[in-house]
Each structure stands twice: as structure tokens, then as C-alpha cells.
Amino acid sequence: MKTTGALQLADGQVYPGELAGTASVQGEVVFFTGMTGYQEVLTDPSYRGQIIVFTYPLIGQYGVSATDSESQQIQVAGVVVQTLANNGTKSDLADWLAASDIPVLSQVDTRALVHHLRTHGDQVGSIGLNEQSSSQPSNLIAMVSTKTHQVHETDQADGHVVCLDYGVKKSMIDALNARRMKVTVVPFDTPKSVIEELKPDGLLFSNGPGDPVQLDHLTADIKQLALSYPTLGICMGHQIIAKAFGCQIEKQHHGHRGANHPVRELATGRVFMTSQNHGYVVQTRSVEASELVPAYQHINDGSIEGLLHPAYPILTVQFHPEAHPGPVEAMVIFDQFVANILKQEVAYARS
């Protein structure tokens, strides 16, 4: 059942629409620019607690699939669209959101809303609340991280990767399994000694929601772990490894979210179109004083998109090489990581 509703932003702007669902929610309002991939976005733990605005005018047109979710539940707090498709089938997106008690505000002028967010920045907003608080949960990572060890086997494994779970996406694990890596996913605050007992051949520091300051108390162990094993950090993992090695993190005016971000590999000049989802970024000038060196750069705004350690097999990327949704050309990052584990060279595929 739909009623009249509205999205109210912290700066007082109000965007009316039709509200489906009875839940009242608050969260950071962000926008996603992809034409497809709404199911992967909704279930990505990096979006935990946010209100997501889809820029494509029709969302839900191809339903939902049992195999495309990135986690076991919808992670966003609320959804804002121009038009929500209603297919009248068991795989209908509208029914899935309703069953999950996720409020959906439709018939919204999302073009005007996104223009406002790009001009004034990401900010807290609410759907169905008369008053809103400026505070947000202090540790979103603790909410989405696994509570137990989860082992993902693969036939004829060539190595063992331990993933510190800050909100890992299923497709990251699938990408490593496809490269014949056994993966053990562990809680975000697993002690260094426990990780060492698992005898990993490499470490993955995963994506995750919120501000990397949540993990400041763990940076000493993170640095020592990264120096001990071939390491890959993705998104939140990139930021926390950067902090552990002396870089500073700053909030972006409005984040990078979507499947159309061009990134240049500095060593080769090669350009990837990448999928991204983050609201914080490594401060460029802080890298010079750190132990790391820039490896990737965003073409549009010049921001740091990846780092390397000059002496150890440590690679971090701000973008999502596993895509889902998005272009898959950056999957070579996983090839490089596995090559570091196996101490092999990796050659780029040429199209």
C-alpha cells in the first residue's frame, strides 16, 4: 500500500513522493549511477544503513535472482527511485523490499535530488520521521562482519587466503575461489595470533561501511599482518591499510558510487572503468610522508585509487575489482594478488 511520503535532508530540503512500507528510517543519503545491478547494491554491506537514491529512472525491471545477492540480506536503510517496476512475479523487487521492511519512496524527482547532493554533498536524511538526529551508528563494521570463521573451499586449492571481514561481498570470495584459492573469512577484530594460526598464504582486507576511524584501534596489528603476508586491500581495506602505514583519510564532498569511474594505473598508463562505492578517500598529500606509493589515480578528480608498498607484496585499491555490478576489466587485480601469493608474474590480457 502506498501513501504520500517524503525524503527530508539535513539541510531542510524535502523531496515528496509515494511511500511504500510503514518503516521510518534515517541514514546518509547517497546516490548510485549504474543502470543495472540494483540487487547487488541493495545487498552490499558497504551500503549498510544508508538511504540509496538510484539515478536510473526505472528500477526493478528485471526482477531479482537467488544468485545475485552480495550478502544474505538487504543492507540499505531505505530506497528512493523515480519509478519502481512491479512485475507481478515471485522475483519482484517491490515485493522483496516490502517483505524485508525496507521503505521505498517512488515518484521522486531523482534528477533534482542527485543534483542537490552533488552540489551540497552527501548528508543525513530521513523517510517517515518528523525529527532526525545527526548521529550515526559508531561501528557499522561490527554490524556486518561475520561472527564466526567461514571456510569457502575450492577444488585443488593452490593457496589459502584469510579475509578480514569488514563487510565482504560474496563476489570477492567467488573471484578468489575461481583462482583456486581457499578462503577463510574471519571477524574484523580477529587477533593477529589467531590469524597466524590459520596459516594463510595471503590476506584480503575487505570492503565495508562507514568511516575507517572505526578500526583505528586495530591499525598496529593490521600493519604487522600486512608486512607478514602478500596482502590485498579493497575499499575500506585500502583505507585502513593506508592509515596503518601513515596516510590520512578524509571525507569526500560526495562519494564515488556507480559503475562508470575511470581509473589510471600509474605504472603503465592503462585505464580501467571501475565500480566504486565509498565516501572517504586517502588524502593525496599524506601519501608522500607514508611508507606507500600511489599505484592508481581517479581520472576525473585525481584522487588516490590504489597504493603499493615498494618493498613488500602489498597492494590496495579503492575501487571494486570484482565489480558486481560493473565492468570486469579490473579483475586483473585478483590475478596480481594471486601471483604475489604464488610468486609468479602476471601478464595483462590485451584486447
Q: Exposed e or buried b for every residue in 240-279, given b needs 16+ CB within 10 A?
A: bbbbbbebebeeeebbbbbbebebbbeeeeeebbbbbbbb
Q: Is residue 208 helix, strand or coil?
A: coil
Distance separating alpha carbons of residues 164 and 97, to the nearest angstrom: 29
Q: What is the C-alpha separation between 158 and 251, in angstroms, rounded?
A: 39
Burial class of 54 by CB neighbour count within 10 A (0 to 12, 13 to 18, 19+): buried
| Residues recognised as catalytic | 235, 320, 322
Q: In the beta sheet, which residues pair with residue 127?
A: 7, 25
Q: How far lies 75's CA from each of 47, 101, 203, in Å? A: 6, 11, 25
- H-helix or E-strand spanning residue 226: helix 219-228
For residues 49 and 77, is the Cβ–Cβ distance under 8 A?
yes
If DSSP codes are grouped into helix, strand and coil, which group holds residue 168?
A: coil
| Cβ 244 vs Cβ 312: under 8 Å | no
Do strands 304-308 and 271-282 pair parallel, antiparallel, or not at all (unpaired)? unpaired
Rounded distance between C-alpha atoms, residue 248 and residue 304, angstroms: 12
CB atoms near residue 120 (< 10 Å): 14
Q: How crowded is residue 135: how many other Cβ atoms within 10 Å of its Cβ?
A: 8
Count of residues for the chain?
Answer: 351
DSSP assignment letter at 320? B
